Amino acid sequence: MVRRDSQGDSQMSAGNFGGLAIAYDDRLLAPRDWTQAQGRWAGELLADLPPGDVLELYCGAGQIGLLAVAGSGRRLVCVDVNPVATHYTRRNAEGAGVDVMTRTGSVHDVLGDGEVFPLIIADPPWVPRAQVHAFPEDPRLAIDGGEDGLARIRECAAAIDGHLGPGGVALAQLAPGDEQADAVVDMTRGTSLVCGERRYFERGTLLRIDRPVDWGGQASP
């Protein structure tokens, strides 16, 4: 379904994402079917994780985080620099019956000192700036990962280090292959984070990052 958004001239679309009705418009990255794997993986992990809210970084329309927490009773905290994204996340959460808190702004600015989460879902833009032109149908803000494609990934790695609780897990969505996943391993070296399982798809790689149960609660400098 496509119609005009009531807030402006952007086209609003609605589709099915893993059984959830998800609305978005052309100012956001259209949900990719393959990313349901990230939401389902996160949802499978939740049953064995400590209590607490789930954090999603660069949430877009919120579909991945919503798929992860639907039916769990957990609150979802969604962060995106784009106010259009957080608007649609709230709308979609209402339809899914999920308790959501949205925060609009940079990852660094909207997370408070001492906030920890048992599960963090990270969906950062990862296209190198020089290659953004190859995806004219996608909003630049949603895909531009900076000069090397790693700028937003670095932000997420720092946020995971600072806000993933003891025994917690993060799932990061990265470019296809191993290059960016290897870069995250380098970013987290010297921290208490442990990069583990990778799941490969034609359009991206999912990386699991764990924090040991005995972590003392002090983020790396």
Is residue 24 one of the residues assigned to a domain? Answer: no
Q: State the CB neighbour count (10 A cutoff) for residue 140.
A: 13
CATH number of the CATH domain containing 47: 3.40.50.150
Task: Judge contact between 67 and 20, C-beta under 8 A.
Answer: yes
At 68-92, the pLDDT tens digits run 999 999 999 999 999 999 999 999 9
For residue 213, what are the contacts with CB-CB under 8 A and spacing of at least 6?
166, 167
Distance, in Å, from the CA atom of 64 to the CA atom of 110, rounded to the nearest integer, reads 20
Is residue 220 one of the residues assigned to a domain? Answer: no
Is residue 23 one of the residues assigned to a domain? Answer: no
Strand partners, 144: 127
Is residue 40 one of the residues assigned to a domain? Answer: yes
pTM over cut 0.85: yes
pLDDT for 22 beyond 50 = yes
Q: How many domains does the chain have?
A: 1
Distance, in Å, from the CA atom of 13 to the CA atom of 61, rounded to the nearest integer, reads 11
Is residue 7 one of the residues assigned to a domain? Answer: no
Is residue 198 one of the residues assigned to a domain? Answer: yes
Task: Judge contact between 13 and 23, C-beta under 8 A.
Answer: yes
pLDDT at 68: 99
Q: Tell me which residue range forms the domain holding 136.
A: 29-210
Q: What mean pLDDT do residues 199-212 have?
A: 98
